[in-house]
Amino acid sequence: MSNNGNSSGSVLLAFMVGALAGAAVALLYAPAAGPDTRRKLAQKAREGRDTLEAVVERGREAYEQARKEMA
């Protein structure tokens, strides 16, 4: 079960990608003008990128901490 940490990271990443894809589809099918939809989609993409960067940074920090504890 030593692969459990990697598995939960994969699940989290899959969830984030799925959430972003769902938000993009919802925005594309929402009844709004083209420029409004594109602006909302761009905003959600930036928010998703920021969230993903934060998750990756936390993962790196957790990895480094675990590495130091094992040394």
Please write the tens of the pLDDT for every residue from 24-69: 787 777 777 778 878 888 888 898 889 888 888 888 888 888 888 8
Whether residue 19 is predicted with pLDDT greater than 70 in this model: the reply is yes
Range of the domain at 41: 4-70
Q: Is 5 helix (H, G, I), strand (E, B) or coil?
A: helix
Number of domains in the chain: 1
Whether residue 2 is predicted with pLDDT greater than 80 in this model: the reply is no
What pTM does this model have? 0.53
DSSP 3: T
Helix (H) or strand (E) holding 40: helix 34-70
- 28-33, Cβ contacts within 8 angstroms, sequence gap of 24 or more: none
